[in-house]
Chains A and B, each alone.
Chain A
Amino acid sequence: MKFIVSIILTALLSFAAGLYLGWWSLAVAAFMVAALIPQKPWKAYLSGFLGLFLLWGLLACWIDMKNQHILSQKMAQVFPLGGSWILLILVTALVAALVAGFAALTGSYVRKK
């Protein structure tokens, strides 16, 4: 239960922070959630990772769908991803997930002293 709550809370808090602050605020959000909700470090890592993977992945998916892949297909050639919009969304999601995972891990270690 804590795991699911952490994932959702991380995603929500990151989204809200992203409305006012730069992209790096997702690290702060993931850190805070992990510091507040006690979990094993690997679980904290995973919930941070998944929270942002889902947030950025779904946001990008939603934008891309409404855009009918016009831009993603071009950008997936500018970055050599063979024009694949799926890969571009995956890369987007992974970058945020990686940062959030480590931020959450840090948060969980702070709590554990």
Chain B
Amino acid sequence: MRLVPLLISAVVTTGLVVTLSMPLGSIPPLGGFLSPQEGFWQNAEPTDQDYTMTLRLPPLKEQAEVYFDDRLVPHVFAQNDEDLYFIQGYLHAKFRLWQMEFQTHAAAGRLSEVLGRGEENRILDFDRNMRRLGMVYAANNSLQVMESDTTTKKVLDAYTAGVNSYIDQLTAGSLPLEYRLLNYRPEHWTNLKTALFLKYMSYDLTGSENDIEYTNAKSVLSRELFDRLYPITQDSLYPIVPKGTDFPLPAIQPVAPATADSLYFRWKDSATIVPINKPDKDNGSNNWAVSGNKTQSGRPILCNDPHLGLSLPSLWFEMQLHTPQSNAYGASFPGSPAIIIGFTDQVAWGVTNASRDVKDYYAIRFKDESRQEYWFDSAWKPAIVKTEAFKVKGGPVVLDTVAYTIFGPVQYDASFNGFDRATAETNLAVRWQAHDGSNELKTFYLLNRATGYADYLDAIKHFTCPGQNFVFASKDNQIAIWQQGLFPAKWKRQGDFVMPGTDSSYRWQGNIPQPENPNVTTGVDFVSSANQLPADTTYPYYLGGNFDLYRGFAINRYLRQMQGITVEDMQALQTQNYNVFAEMALPVLLKNIKEHMLANDEKALLETVRSWNLRNDPEEKGVAIFTAWFSNLEAEVWSDELAAAPKPVIMPESFTLVEALLRDSAFAQADNITTPNKETVADVVTTAFKKAVPLLKKADAEGRLAWGKYKDSGIRHLLRQAPLSRFHLNTGGGEHVINATKQFHGPSWRMIVHLTDKTDAWGIYPGGQQGNPGSKYYDNFVDDWAAGKYKKLWMMTETEGKSPQVKYTMTFNKL
């Protein structure tokens, strides 16, 4: 009788096959995953991979060539725009498909679809937050505008067709690794996804309003004290537009509502809210251009390094895009057509964040819990109620309803308290500049074809949100900078706090006309921006927002002194680790510390910081001591004032404390109001130092006090998978320093363009051209980036196809 063993072995075999074909928890189906013929091993790219190939793709109009250099940068030579953007889409997908889709899923509030709802619904709440902010609504509005423009419609369609042409020929073997790990498949690309990607950048760069935090602080602070803690200007300000510039009379003069003092500024209003998913407040950047008067060659040099969250695969993908009518080189966004930061044969451009506040909250009064009607201008007004559906991996669909008011969607209400962000009584609608349809893509399309200042100015006028400082330089020796965007004309402190949503008088009253945006276009040898206030208080509009101070101060001080500038000088400046913030703050601390109250081990640390050279170099220990000391001082000084405020509140900016101490040696807020004693500046400075010591001593004992180790920079994979990330990079720099490399945040692309006859350009980003973690091109720029090195950028000409710099050639044929 062999039947029994036959049955048993047949059942075991079937059982094994079925088990290995199913996902087990977070483990993908192991059979297919481990198979060397179809599974993850297929992502292990041979280190001598040959990228040369010939493709035949039906939508192409004419033949095109793509030359890859030794860093795997594609130089696309197409005969027309449609083919150009088709190929750009194809290449973005070939190298970065998973990331493109993942980022647009994030923008659209669809991460739960692929990741599940997450611990304590974190991922689902992230998704709900994005939908309730109106991300999809905003992207659809912009898509309409982009598609009503024949040029951008053509570009979008070609790009989308290119991405889909790649997706359609994907095989089990060529599926990106992350799809395998998460066990899903890519869907088709659409023009809406490109719009979503661009809105995600708006979200990332205009998300740092503090309306709710300020409202909470305001509820316990007097008006005078509030202005002292959260001032609207700074003593050490070195604005983008030089001080003393005359501004024309404003075209719009916004008027504060008659009820502002009683309804808006009354200092006892509060919203009990904890911030969630707020973009990093240091999403900023540096850029500058120097004219030929300051350079050794007599030609301008333009520099830009956008500071963003650093991730793998990188946000950027380097490319050259060439047709007989246009030629542009630089960093592109996988997910969007065109070059975003780069140069043409005649001009170069770069961007930093304007950091203006274009996102305001309004308290809405609903008639009842159904949230169908709200009180507005003395009547009940119907809200538009939208139902949002969330597909959740491994669970049922979740539905959510969002009420849209005249201001915008009600992001926070009783149904969505996120991470306990809102109370059930608070309904907050959000008015966000990015809700309005706009066509930022047109700016990049036109910049990619710019031949001079007039083209640049014409191009940037299409850019409305997020507001950016566009720096410019051209080979005919012109330099310029415009803070470009569509900015609401606000009365002083409008939108710094949650506004009443029952009255039209609190709405935005119009936009600042574009020609009145801050700009510097003549009469200077250099222009620069580093997220500082664009102008001093003589600028006729309220500038509301969060601004950096010290990077801009440092850059301008260096540029003013420099002469005979070379590319090497600019590389040194872009990676400069000198800490101007410490230069101003440390003497005050050292002057006030009561040394006689310190123990010997504390004195040793004090000696280290006293002899520090004020440079945030990786081997310096003084910077760690200073940083810990100062942050303890901030806590000592401000916590008591803010203790009674509902949470969350936000600490005043570092410069506020430094400038207060420099201005006033008997600084009143030094006193801890919760103790009977009257603490002086010297008292709090000494206490703060003593409080910092234990952690510093621990770090020193473990060999982690040197700044590079103390800061411990890294670049994380988008899924936060440690093995796919790069940790423990020994880098200098940091907050308030020109080299703005923080732990997981910093210069995401460093570019220097010397506008000589044959453009001499340099750049690097912390990543690699391949999104595939199994490729040697996945992270091959990281070490050089960390060391502050640059790569020469090759603006290739069509005749150089046979150059030894060309490693591989992809030929795109029409059918």
Contacts and interface: CB of A to CB of B under 8 A. Distances in A.
A78 B34 CA distance: 13
A99 B17 contact: yes
B37 A59 contact: yes
A78 B721 contact: yes
B41 A106 contact: no
Nearest to B40: A75
B435 to A, nearest CB: 40
A63 interface: yes
A87 B2 CA distance: 37
A59 B41 contact: yes
Contacts of A112: 2
Given A71-B43, A74-B773, A95-B30, A113 B2 contact: yes
Given A74-B723, A77-B722, A103 B13 contact: yes
Contacts of A70: 44-45, 47, 773-776, 778
Contacts of B13: 27, 31, 99, 102-103, 105-106
A71 B31 contact: no
Interface stretch (B4-12, B187-195, B504-512, B661-669): B4-12
Given A27-B17, A74-B723, A113-B2, A105 B34 contact: no
A86 interface: no
B21 interface: yes
Interface string A55-79: 0100110011011101111110110
B181 A78 contact: yes
B45 A23 contact: no
B34 A95 contact: yes
Interface in B154-212: 177, 181
A95 B47 contact: no
A110 B778 CA distance: 50
A8 to B, nearest CB: 18
A68 to B, nearest CB: 5
B400 to A, nearest CB: 33
Interface string B236-261: 00000000000000000000000000
Interface string B1-33: 010011001101100110011000000001110
Contacts of A67: 44-47, 774
Interface residues of B, number: 40
Contacts of B37: 15, 18-19, 23, 59
Most chain A C-beta atoms within 10 Å of own C-beta, residue among B5, B32, B36, B722: B36
A71 B774 contact: yes
B39 interface: yes
B17 A18 contact: no
A66 B47 contact: yes
Contact of B10 (A66, A75, A98, A106): A106
B9 A105 contact: yes
Interface string A39-56: 001000000000000001
B36 A59 contact: yes
Contact of B34 (A24, A83, A92): A92
A16 B381 CA distance: 69
Contacts of A74: 723-724, 773-774
A12 interface: no
B537 interface: no
A105 to B, nearest CB: 4
A14 to B, nearest CB: 9
Contacts of B5: 41, 105, 109
Nearest to B43: A71
Nearest to A64: B44
Contacts of B47: 66-68, 70
Contacts of B21: 24
Given A60-B41, A74-B723, A74-B724, A91 B9 contact: no
Given A92-B34, A95-B20, A99-B20, A75 B723 contact: yes
Contacts of A68: 47, 776
B32 A23 contact: yes
Most chain A C-beta atoms within 10 Å of own C-beta, residue among B10, B44, B773: B44
Contacts, number: 114
B35 interface: yes
A71 B773 contact: yes
B231 to A, nearest CB: 48
A39 to B, nearest CB: 14
Interface of A is mostly: helix
A72 B16 CA distance: 24
Interface residues of A, number: 40
Contacts of B35: 18, 23, 56, 96
Interface in B36-70: 36-48
Given A66-B46, A70-B775, A102-B16, A22 B38 contact: yes
Contacts of B41: 59-60, 63-64, 71, 92
Given A67-B774, A71-B774, A95-B30, A109 B6 contact: yes
Contacts of B723: 73-75, 77-78, 83
A71 B177 CA distance: 10
A19 B787 CA distance: 45
A45 to B, nearest CB: 8
Contacts of A92: 34, 36, 41
A67 B46 CA distance: 4
Interface string A78-96: 1000010000000110011
Nearest to B172: A22
A102 B12 contact: yes
B36 A60 contact: yes
Contacts of A73: 723
Contacts of A56: 34-36
Nearest to B725: A74
A18 B181 CA distance: 21
A105 B20 CA distance: 19
A92 B30 CA distance: 9
Interface string A11-43: 000010011001110010001000000000100
Contact of A99 (B16, B45, B48, B776): B16
Contacts of B6: 106, 109-110
A22 B6 CA distance: 24
Nearest to B41: A63
Contacts of B17: 24, 27, 99
Given A70-B44, A70-B775, A70-B776, A109 B31 contact: no
A23 B39 contact: yes
B286 to A, nearest CB: 33
B2 A98 contact: no
Given A23-B31, A77-B722, A110-B6, A98 B39 contact: no
Contacts of A103: 13
A75 B775 CA distance: 13
B9 A106 contact: yes
Contacts of A105: 5, 9, 13
Contacts of B43: 71
Nearest to B33: A23
Nearest to B724: A74
Contacts of A18: 35, 37-38
Nearest to A22: B32
A71 to B, nearest CB: 3
A68 B777 CA distance: 13
Nearest to A73: B723
Nearest to B722: A77
A58 to B, nearest CB: 9
B16 A66 contact: no
28 contacts: A19-B37, A22-B38, A23-B37, A23-B38, A24-B17, A24-B21, A41-B5, A56-B34, A56-B35, A56-B36, A63-B41, A63-B42, A64-B44, A66-B44, A66-B46, A67-B44, A68-B776, A70-B778, A71-B44, A71-B774, A74-B773, A78-B181, A95-B34, A102-B9, A102-B16, A106-B10, A106-B13, A110-B6
The 10 closest A-B pairs by CB, nearest first: A71-B774, A77-B723, A59-B36, A109-B6, A67-B44, A66-B46, A23-B35, A71-B44, A18-B37, A102-B13
Given A60-B36, A64-B44, A78-B723, 4 more contacts: A23-B32, A56-B35, A71-B177, A92-B36
